[in-house]
Amino acid sequence: MILVALGSNLPGPAGSPRHMVEAALAALPEVGVTVVCRSPWYLSAPVPPSDQPWFVNGVATVGFSGTPSDLLACLHAVEASLGRHRDGTVNAARTLDLDLLDMDGLIWAADPTLPHPRLHQRAFVLRPLADVAPTWRHPASGRLVTELLEALGPIEGLSRDPGDHRSSVATPPSPAS
């Protein structure tokens, strides 16, 4: 299973942050990435806390034939096609962020590091990940996604996007997404 996190908190060429993540999903097949399903969208406060706008976040399971570096290059190509300019600033507001979380349980020290080094610390990643892969285990720790969520304690600043009318069960994206 290959897991990709999607996030946006600034409008871009496709429109609102929600439209940006939906446009990213629609663009992935153009670079050889098959979208299998996606979580519901969540609204989340910026991490670390700041005065930035809240994010729209989700997780998708995808299919891809190639190396983690190849997949990351595809994700970056989609970001760039939708106006993302990487300038090295960490935790900045952004029009689009696509992160490779896990690729078939691979533990990879090269770039990109797999599993994603901070995914177990981020409720805005773990909550939607639990929607698409409730039995997923962290490749390094072996802990279930639900255990990782529980370890975070009470979660504030994260809620389902009320405009997303998908059920809590992951479903393949519709052609109109």
Mean pLDDT of 140-149: 97
Burial class (CB in 10 A: 0-12, 13-18, 19+), 139: middle
In a domain, 167, yes or no: no
In a domain, 168, yes or no: no
In a domain, 135, yes or no: yes
pLDDT at 131: 96
Q: Is the pLDDT at 174 greater than 50, yes or no? A: no
Domain harbouring 70, CATH code: 3.30.70.560
pLDDT at 111: 86
In a domain, 61, yes or no: yes
In a domain, 43, yes or no: yes
What phi, psi does 117 have (nearest 5°)?
-65, -20
Query: What is the extent of the structural domain holding 102?
Result: 2-160
In a domain, 174, yes or no: no
User: pTM, whole model, 2 decimals?
Assistant: 0.91
Rounded CA separation 97/8 (Å)? 6
Q: Is the pLDDT at 172 greater than 60, yes or no? A: no
pLDDT at 168: 47
In a domain, 34, yes or no: yes
Mean pLDDT of 124-130: 97
pLDDT at 12: 96
Q: Is the pLDDT at 170 greater than 60, yes or no? A: no
Kindly state the percentage of the chain with pLDDT values over 90. 80
Domain count across the chain? 1
Confidence class for position 175, pLDDT limits 50, 70, 90: very low
pLDDT tens-digit series, residues 18-38: 999 999 999 999 999 999 999
pLDDT at 163: 83
pLDDT tens-digit series, residues 42-91: 999 998 889 999 999 999 999 999 999 999 999 999 999 999 988 777 77
In a domain, 173, yes or no: no
